Structure 1
């Protein structure tokens, strides 16, 4: 039980400090300003849960492919590396403006394209529109699919995903998944309910520095802990 709790607390803290002000955080906030919040929340959160579970599964399987000792050392190096990366982002203090501008530009282009497509489709017959719709959108809302795909591919290969893999390799995977899901739910809900204004009130520098310190602490703890071969 203690191993589950340790994995949960580490994963929860890491997720919250990694996701606030992240690309997917801003994407959820901007999408929620243009589409129904319920669909955006459902799409973004579903994507993040799938990503968390997949990452934890990879981390859980890693010790079966590589020795436990090596996965422990790699995880320790990842924690130190991400800690220094976050501290660097905090001291340079350029991340938030660049991330927000990049996400707004990307979603703005998509929004314009969607608007033009909608105007064009409005002139067509309803039956013809139904036939032209992608197969999945017959069963899922296009807004859900958009929120899911933007979040999934935006999170793929991100620092938090790799850190989740490393954490699951070193801690109880169930605790890591549970903590990650709780953290993702908190961050995504905050983003959908008013993430853009919330992010403007929270110092990106403080978040980045806090995340960096947390990763360094995880790295020190991992370095000092013993591991069974």
Structure 2
């Protein structure tokens, strides 16, 4: 079994290169421009931590559902597949500003839809709404919940989530969790504190290219490593 340090290092590098310039990275940056940063940071980071732990649990269960040999081979194929995917993204990348604008337009559309829905409700319903307010809203800020839900569902089925599952199936799960959480914390904090300016200084093509090379290196290492019975 691989060491905690090896799982931690792989997970940290993979997470940072997968999340910088990702749509959830831009979403966190945009939300932080409009709402209190601490609420956005806690909501986004909370969602990413939950997603990382869930992904690792799925990866940990994989060898129990499949043989160790098959889960290892699938993980190897995933690494190569994600590496080629990232390289393809690097060469067809249209630029950070376009993706930032795309995410911003989507959030604006959601905000407008929510605003129109709010206008349709009359003032007489305010007391009734407060009484029927959702259980979660009694304990969490709406901004926290918004940041959490946008990030969680934005990451669901994303390349980084699937890669984390594959990594956890082949590496030390504790190391993968710790590395993933640290990587998510670094990227999310950077996005909240200055995502737009940071994105303009970092080439999305270089990040995608680096991520693709990293995944292929992981794939080669996995292919050459022995499978435990």
Q: Which TM bucket (shorter chain)?
A: over 0.9
CA contact (8 A) 1:164 1:176 kept: yes
Judging changes above 3 Å, is the alpha-carbon distance between structure 1 residues 138 and 120 closer, same or farther for their aligned structure 2 residues? farther
Note the C-alpha offset of 1:139: 1.4
Partner of 1:198: helix, strand, or coil?
helix
How many residues are treated as equivalent by the alignment? 229
The question of 1:100 aligning with 2:100 is answered yes
The question of 1:4 aligning with 2:4 is answered yes
Runs of 5+ consecutive residues of structure 1 not aligned to the other structure:
none
For residues 82 and 94 of structure 1, what CA distance do their matches in structure 2 show?
Answer: 19
Map of 2:190 onto structure 1: 190
CA contact (8 A) 1:56 1:168 kept: yes
For residues 159 and 193 of structure 2, what CA distance do their matches in structure 1 show?
Answer: 24
Judging changes above 3 Å, is the alpha-carbon distance between structure 1 residues 222 and 104 closer, same or farther for their aligned structure 2 residues? same
For residues 117 and 191 of structure 1, what CA distance do their matches in structure 2 show?
Answer: 30
Note the C-alpha offset of 1:121: 6.6
Map of 2:90 onto structure 1: 90
Partner of 1:30: helix, strand, or coil?
helix
Judging changes above 3 Å, is the alpha-carbon distance between structure 1 residues 98 and 132 closer, same or farther for their aligned structure 2 residues? farther
1:142-188 CA-partner distances (Å, limit 9, x unpaired):
10110000000000000000000000000000000000000000000
Runs of 5+ consecutive residues of structure 2 not aligned to the other structure:
none
Note the C-alpha offset of 1:93: 1.8
Map of 2:28 onto structure 1: 28
For residues 96 and 56 of structure 1, what CA distance do their matches in structure 2 show?
Answer: 30
- The two structures, once aligned, show a CA RMSD in angstroms of 1.9
For residues 223 and 165 of structure 1, what CA distance do their matches in structure 2 show?
Answer: 17
Judging changes above 3 Å, is the alpha-carbon distance between structure 1 residues 85 and 129 closer, same or farther for their aligned structure 2 residues? same
Partner of 1:134: helix, strand, or coil?
coil
The alignment's TM-score, normalised by the length of structure 2, stands at 0.94
The alignment's TM-score, normalised by the length of structure 1, stands at 0.94
Note the C-alpha offset of 1:116: 4.3
Map of 2:212 onto structure 1: 212
